[in-house]
Structure formats: structure tokens, C-alpha cells
């Protein structure tokens, strides 16, 4: 683990760290905010998974989450969205390759060599955080934006008992039926659509649901709303009678202005679950 930077932030520390990833076969970078309570012992952990084109830095600097996490004594981790490096496969399009890992374990060439983001988040980075920082892995929650909302929802529903709560900002909710999904899932996982179902929040809601509270916000003026398909997830949630709050926020778009407007409510939502 190499420290890139550490800055005082709302009484705690905002750090940026890099480490060698065995599963992604490259160096990976992440941001981690630790509140002042971490100096006394392990604190609850909230994961923030970012969207297409983002790095660890976007939410760390734009969402304004640290002040609210500090108020609740919660750590925040901001992973990168994909493996990176000159030797890592990429694509000219912004929605495939570096910056667009979609939080899956790729099985197809040329992606399989590095794009193992599911295992990186759920196993390798989890273990690294547990070993190196004062975080309480018995109290985890997860959130994300857009592609990261997709990752947060699929991980929460696929790993029962791991996360006490899950939320999302404008998540890609039904990728097997969207151009933000079919393109990437076929590239990373191949053309057998049965293998895609494990990475579709709507299909997972129909099959499994989540053993805790859910909060989802999407803006009515989101320029990508037809790709996000919030209505599909809403229908699956209602059919399952899942404990969830799904809100359409009037006038908001897909930007970090939207995320920063509602991040306080999301952090408080997770704090209620993490300290229950």
C-alpha cells in the first residue's frame, strides 16, 4: 500500500492510496475518507461506486459526502471504475474499456486479463481495507451513481448479509435491456445472455431482492433516463414488495449537482442502518 496523499478533512483524513492488484494485474488507486473516530477504533464503512468515465477522484471531490460522513462517524471508500495502464485493454468509446469496468469479472478477450472488477471490489479491496485501515467490516453499506449504482445494487443483492443498506443515484437499472449494458455485457461476458442476468438489478430484484432498506433517486430531467430504465426496477420492486424508497426528483439531471444535492440524505439513510 502506497500513500499518494493525505489531507485533513472535516476533522478526519481524506487519503488517496495505490496498491498492486493481483486480480486486475495492475496497480489500482482508491480514495478513503476516515472520520476522526477512526483514531479510536474501527468505524462503519460506506462504499461509493462511481459511473462511466470516472476515476476514484470524481465523487471524492464533487459529491460533498465527507462532511456528512464525518457527522455520522462513517468511513467512505471511493474505488476506481476499472483497471488502468498502457498495457490494459481499452476502447475508443467512453462507455467501454478503461473508465467503464461495469463491476463485472470479464471472461472474454482482451478484457479478461485485467477487468476483474467484481472480485476487486468484493474481495481484494475489501481485504486490503480490513487489513490496513480502521474500518469495521461487520458494518458495511454501499451506494453508487449511474454505472456505480448498477454495481452497488447488484453487489448488494448478490451478497446477502454483506451490506446493511444500499442506495443509488440514477442507476443503470436494467442493463440487459439497455444500450448501456448490452454492449458492455456482451463484450466482457460473451453473447450468452443467461450469464448477464447476475449483473442486472431488475432481474436480481425479481429473483432475490435485498435483505435490508433501499433508497434510489433519479432525476426527471436525466438526459440518459431511457438508458437507465428506472421504471423496470420500480415494477420489479413493487412486484416483490421489497422494502425500498424509489424517488423521481423533479428537474434534476445526471450530473454531480444532482448527486451533491441528495448525498446528505443518502449518508443519513446508511447511518441509520449502520448504527441500528
Active-site residue set:
146, 222, 254
Terminal CA-to-CA distance of the chain, rounded, Å?
32
Q: What is the DSSP letter of 173?
A: -
109's CB contacts (< 8 A; 6+ apart) are: none
Specify the residue for cell string 495492475: 26
Peptide bond into 4 cis (omega under 30): no
Work out the burial of residue 272: count CB atoms within 10 Å of its CB; fewer than 13 is exposed, 13-18 middle, 19 or more buried. middle
Q: Where are the extended beta strands (E) located within the chain?
A: 2-9, 12-21, 26-34, 43-49, 75-79, 135-144, 166-169, 214-219, 245-249
Residues 34/43, Cβ–Cβ less than 8 Å: yes
**What is d(CA 9, CA 76) in angstroms, rounded to the nearest whole number?**
12
Amino acid at each position: 500500500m502506497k500513500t499518494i496523499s493525505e489531507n485533513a478533512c472535516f476533522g478526519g483524513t481524506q487519503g488517496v492510496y495505490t496498491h498492486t492488484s493481483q486480480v486486475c494485474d495492475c496497480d489500482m488507486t482508491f480514495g478513503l475518507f476516515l472520520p476522526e473516530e477512526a483514531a479510536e477504533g474501527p468505524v462503519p464503512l460506506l462504499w461509493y461506486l462511481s459511473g462511466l468515465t470516472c476515476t476514484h477522484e470524481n465523487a471524492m471531490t464533487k459529491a460533498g459526502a465527507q462532511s456528512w460522513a464525518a457527522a455520522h462517524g462513517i468511513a467512505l471508500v471511493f474505488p476506481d471504475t476499472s483497471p488502468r495502464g498502457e498495457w490494459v485493454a481499452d476502447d475508443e468509446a467512453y462507455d467501454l474499456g478503461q473508465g467503464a469496468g461495469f463491476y463485472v469479472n470479464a471472461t472474454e478477450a482482451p478484457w479478461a486479463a485485467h477487468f476483474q472488477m467484481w472480485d476487486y471490489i468484493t474481495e481484494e479491496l475489501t481485504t486490503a481495507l480490513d487489513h490496513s485501515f480502521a474500518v469495521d467490516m461487520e458494518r458495511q453499506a454501499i451506494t453508487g451513481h449511474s454505472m456505480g449504482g448498477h454495481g452497488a445494487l447488484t453487489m448488494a443483492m448478490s451478497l446477502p448479509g454483506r451490506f446493511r443498506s444500499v442506495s443509488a443515484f440514477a442507476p443503470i437499472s436494467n442493463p440487459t435491456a439497455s444500450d448501456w449494458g448490452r454492449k458492455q455485457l456482451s463484450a466482457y461476458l460473451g453473447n450468452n445472455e443467461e450469464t448477464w442476468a447476475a449483473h442486472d438489478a431488475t432481474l436480481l430484484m425479481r429473483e432475490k431482492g435485498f435483505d435490508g432498506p433501499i433508497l434510489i433517486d433519479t432525476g426527471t430531467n436525466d438526459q440518459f433516463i431511457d438508458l437507465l430504465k428506472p421504471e423496470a426496477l420500480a415494477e420489479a420492486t413493487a412486484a416483490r414488495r421489497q422494502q425500498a424508497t424509489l424517488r423521481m426528483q423533479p428537474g434534476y439531471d445526471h450530473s454531480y449537482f444532482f448527486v451533491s444535492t441528495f448525498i446528505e440524505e443518502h449518508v443519513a439513510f446508511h447511518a441509520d442502518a449502520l448504527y441500528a
